[in-house]
Each structure stands twice: as C-alpha cells, then as structure tokens.
Chain A
C-alpha cells in the first residue's frame, strides 16, 4: 500500500499488472476468478473502474467483500449465462480458462458479455513442458505449471497455438497479445506466434468479437 492508502501497481503480480495496463480508466469490468481481489481492488481504487468479481472459492469471496469489493460467489462454467450481453466493457479471465470444464463455452460467454475480453493462461507448448514429456516421459511440473498431474486444477491445458485456433473458431479478433515468462514478465507477442509457442511460458490476449 502506498502512503495514500491506495494499492500500488508494483505490489501486483507482474502478469496482473500487465492486465491492469490494458484496462482504460473508468470502464466497467468483470474479473472472473478474481481470487483475493488484488487486481480488482487496484482497478477500482486506482483506475476508478466500476469493477465486479466472480469467484468460486467462498473464503476468497468473503475476503473481497470485506475489502469493499463487489464480488459474487459463482462458477465460470455455469454462471456466466445470467449476465446480459455487452454489459461490461472488459471481462478478465486470468489464469483460469485451463481450469474450467468447458473452455469453449466460457470463451464464448466472455466474448458475449464483454465488449472486450482479456484471457491469460500458461502455455503448454513451452519447451520445458515439451522436454519433460519427450525426454523424461513425465507430466511437466514447471514454474508456470507447478502441480503434479494428480493434484492439478488444470484440466484443459492448451498451447498458445491451440488457444489462437479456439479464438478464431469463436470469432474473436486479437487486438493485443503479450507473452509471459516464468516470473510473469511480459513481452509483446508479434507475428512469430510459433516462436512464442515454444519460448513463452504464458500469454495474455486482449480480444473482441468480430
């Protein structure tokens, strides 16, 4: 916290800070899987967004509301259908799509209820992941994917190329793309998506429906 009692960008996880930078001030934002509300609180207090959260874990929800945030307990897999179309300027789904039961449905709902959507996820095409499978024959455990196969919440992992294919199928237009390294630091993702698919540990996409 800074002197003024405002949350500071420097205290945000780097990938969340990168997402925060994509969000214009004063917009209406839904953060799906908002966790303890760190990003949402920053957006509401520093960027004056009209922010809402949807979070699966009840203790996180209660913590968010006690912080003065507007958060509803709910499940991205089932509860997005109740939101009207285009109600939010931006919908955020950070490090969550790979843990949903129906990633395609969730992505379509995102594109429906938000004028723009931001999705971030770990890249299963990263060379360490490939190496672990090819050389060791074991399910990969990396900085970005730090769970064993038997306790991971990540049931629908994908590569950057996989995600781009789904985004195309869903009629999404990519407006901005960034890669993430293992510490969550960003680099902008250019035309060489194949390179990113090998060397990036994660990615963030800002999209709109075509």
Chain B
C-alpha cells in the first residue's frame, strides 16, 4: 500500500515557459449530473487556451480531443516532450489561427491529464476512484465542457471542431446545445459507434483486465500499473488507426535490425517493433482505467438513440453550419458513416458541407499533414467567422 502514490500522468512535468494550461475547480455548487443518474462533484476540468477572446466574445473555437488525446493540442506534451497533437493545425497563421481565434481545449471527463477521472481522488473515500468512478458518456463530456464555457463567459462557440471521438463531441454539442454552436466541424467520426469498433474496444479492455497488475481496477493501491495490458490494447487499437496500404508502404515485410528471421518470437518484423514501441510509449502517458472508461463512452455513443433512431431529428431546426470530413482509407470511421451524418443534416435542412479526402493513411490522417484538410478547415472557419462578423 502506498498512500502517496500518484500516477505519473497526474503530475505533468512543466517545461519552463511552456503553456501548461489551467485547472477549473468546480465545487459542490456546480454538480455534474451524469447520464447514468449519478452526480459528480467536486469536478476539475484541465484545459488550455490560445489566443485572445475578443470583446464580442464571438471568436471562441473549442477543440475536442480524441480517445487518447489531451488538452495539449498545440503545446509541448508535459510527459512525452513531443509537440502538441494538432500542432500542424493550431497556431498563429495556421488553419485554426490563434491570432484570430480564441482556442480552447479541455481534457475530457474521465481523462487522465488533470480533468476528473478514475485516477482522481474520490471525495467519499479519500482514495483514488478506480472502478468506483461513475461511467461517463460523450454527452457527459460535453456537459462538462459547457460548464467550463460558462465559467469562461462564452455563451456561443464560433466553432466546435474535433476528429474521431472529438467529432462525436462536436456532433453532441450541436445536438445538445444548438443555441451555443455557430458552426461544427466533425472530422473522421460517426453518429454511433459501430459493432466493429465496439469489438476492437472490447479487445483492448479485455487485454487491460487480463493483466494481473490491473487488480480489479485497484492497481493504484498496490503501487502497480497494468502496463502490459494497456500496451496490448494500444497495439490493437493502433492497427485500426492505420490502413493496410499504409502499413504495406511503411513496413512491408521488412526485418527489424537483422538480416534473417530469428526462428523465435522476437520482433523480427519492423511492424512488430513499431507496434511494441507504440504500446510501450503509450503507457507512460495514459491511465489504464481512463482507457476503459473513455472507450466505453465511445461505445455507448448513438446520437439517434434519443430520437427513435432518426438521426435527422437530433439536428431539427439547427441553425449551425456543419462541415464533415472523411478520409478514403479510414476503415474505423469510414466515409459511409460520415456521409450518413451529412444525409441526416441535409434532411433536417441544415447548412452542411461534406468533404472526402483522398489519403492512404487511414483514420490517423486527421492528425497528419493533409494539406487538403487544412484548406477545407481554413475555408470553413473563415466563412463561419465572416458570417458571424468576426474580424
């Protein structure tokens, strides 16, 4: 037993001068009522901002992050030291121009980079929540973000933009708070998690739970972390973020640091070595229980479910402008899933654009250097800004 143990990812190593963000502490006067009916309080929301909110408060852009993302969208990651995950898209003069827009990104509810999650202290017991943390949904994440915006004094977002699970949040924002969203750009996403995607998540969760160090989710009490299980979960998931063509192009059957097969179970192939590396580095920055909770939130996501299965009803009467983007080689959130959303938006009479971008880089393409994505982003954000009168 270790009472003082705090997982590494909870105490970011702040680089001097680096934008490390803020933590909003919401006390008992701001309880978060979850979809499960449970109440979460107190609540911490870790977030980061770039740029300046204008006097009209009309230039706020909320970036919603993906499953294993965090608030460090354009800042050096405090644990890995790597550039922000959307450094290519966010910054001065970049498609999401921080000279022009006030950009906000918050760690999701259930996350492990400062926002309340399973690695936070349960006020009822004074111990880390672990599996006592209530199950959260995408809508709960969005509710928490709305509470953050309330505190920041932002009534209406110019745009909510995100890829993958970030896209789910963008859609949920438009459906739950239509009056607070001027435009939304959901990228490489779906209005529901497919059976195949739930299946992959279940493989990941079972890998974590099968690790003896998981200890029924109470690993913190034993000063251990189910790193092996979490690494396997990451490896399996990582395959779904790529494409067969990209794997073949990058790795083929090339051998790793050797001339011949080893006739054993070493990482003979480059692809094996690559995946092991992805798994190993991931566990340094992510909490295993967070992975369980956030994947579950994605599995539960089905925007049409509250509207008798009619997705168009989720957006009825919306005045928001939408821009949906998919990538040709994305098989996790294929074009068909994104197009289903575009069809529903058309049917509800919404102002919608839908763009499919040719790329062989799979689902991950939305995080990579895809000039066409950036052009579309700039065009869409620019026209939303001029329609709203943002200078």
Minimum CB–CB distance from B293 to chain A (whole Å) comes to 35
Minimum CB–CB distance from B365 to chain A (whole Å) comes to 14
**Partner of B380 from A50, A61, A68, A74 at Cβ < 8 Å:** A68
Q: Indicate if the CB atoms of A58 and B358 lie closer than 8 Å.
A: yes
Interface size class of A (residues with CB under 8 A): 20 to 34
Q: Indicate if the CB atoms of A68 and B382 lie closer than 8 Å.
A: yes
**Partner of B379 from A50, A66, A79, A82 at Cβ < 8 Å:** A66
Interface string of A58-99 (1 = CB under 8 A from B): 100110111111111110000100111001000000000000
Bound-state Cα–Cα, A62 to B373, Å: 9
Q: Indicate if the CB atoms of B354 and A73 lie closer than 8 Å.
A: yes
Assess whether A126 is interfacial by the CB under 8 Å rule: no
Bound-state Cα–Cα, A82 to B382, Å: 28
Bound-state Cα–Cα, A71 to B354, Å: 6
Minimum CB–CB distance from A7 to chain B (whole Å) comes to 14
Q: Indicate if the CB atoms of B380 and A65 lie closer than 8 Å.
A: yes
Taking each of A65, A69, A70, A84, which has the highest tally of chain B beta carbons within 10 Å of its own beta carbon? A65
Interface size class of B (residues with CB under 8 A): 20 to 34
Assess whether A112 is interfacial by the CB under 8 Å rule: no
Chain B residue numbers with a CB within 8 Å of A71 are: 353-354
Minimum CB–CB distance from B353 to chain A (whole Å) comes to 5
Bound-state Cα–Cα, A65 to B383, Å: 9
Chain A residue numbers with a CB within 8 Å of B348 are: 84
Q: Indicate if the CB atoms of A87 and B351 lie closer than 8 Å.
A: no
Assess whether A52 is interfacial by the CB under 8 Å rule: yes
Question: A-B pairs with CB below 8 Å: how many?
Answer: 64
Minimum CB–CB distance from A96 to chain B (whole Å) comes to 18
In chain B, positions 348-391 with a C-beta closer than 8 Å to chain A are: 348-349, 351-358, 372, 375-376, 378-380, 382-383, 386
Assess whether B323 is interfacial by the CB under 8 Å rule: yes
Q: Contacts A58-B358, A82-B347, A83-B346 given; indicate if A65 touches B376 (C-beta within 8 A).
A: yes
Q: Indicate if the CB atoms of A69 and B383 lie closer than 8 Å.
A: yes
Bound-state Cα–Cα, A72 to B342, Å: 8
Q: Indicate if the CB atoms of A72 and B372 lie closer than 8 Å.
A: no
Q: Indicate if the CB atoms of A61 and B349 lie closer than 8 Å.
A: no
Chain B residue numbers with a CB within 8 Å of A73 are: 339, 354-356
Q: Indicate if the CB atoms of A72 and B383 lie closer than 8 Å.
A: no
**Partner of A84 from B323, B347, B353, B358 at Cβ < 8 Å:** B347
Minimum CB–CB distance from B158 to chain A (whole Å) comes to 14
Bound-state Cα–Cα, A87 to B358, Å: 31
Bound-state Cα–Cα, A66 to B7, Å: 44
In chain B, positions 319-357 with a C-beta closer than 8 Å to chain A are: 321, 323, 339, 342-343, 346-349, 351-357
Bound-state Cα–Cα, A65 to B347, Å: 20
Chain B residue numbers with a CB within 8 Å of A82 are: 343, 346-347
Chain B residue numbers with a CB within 8 Å of A66 are: 372, 375-376, 378-379
Chain A residue numbers with a CB within 8 Å of B349 are: 83-84, 87
Spell out A's residues near B (CB within 8 Å): 50, 52, 58, 61-62, 64-74, 79, 82-84, 87
8 pairs of A and B residues whose beta carbons are closest in the complex: A68-B383, A66-B379, A66-B375, A72-B354, A65-B353, A68-B379, A65-B376, A70-B353
Q: A62-B372, A65-B323 are in contact. List 5 more A-B contacts (CB 8 A).
A: A52-B351, A68-B379, A70-B321, A73-B354, A82-B346
14 inter-chain pairs at a CB distance below 8 angstroms, sorted by A residue, are: A62-B372, A62-B376, A65-B376, A65-B379, A66-B379, A68-B379, A68-B383, A69-B353, A70-B351, A70-B353, A72-B346, A72-B353, A72-B354, A83-B346
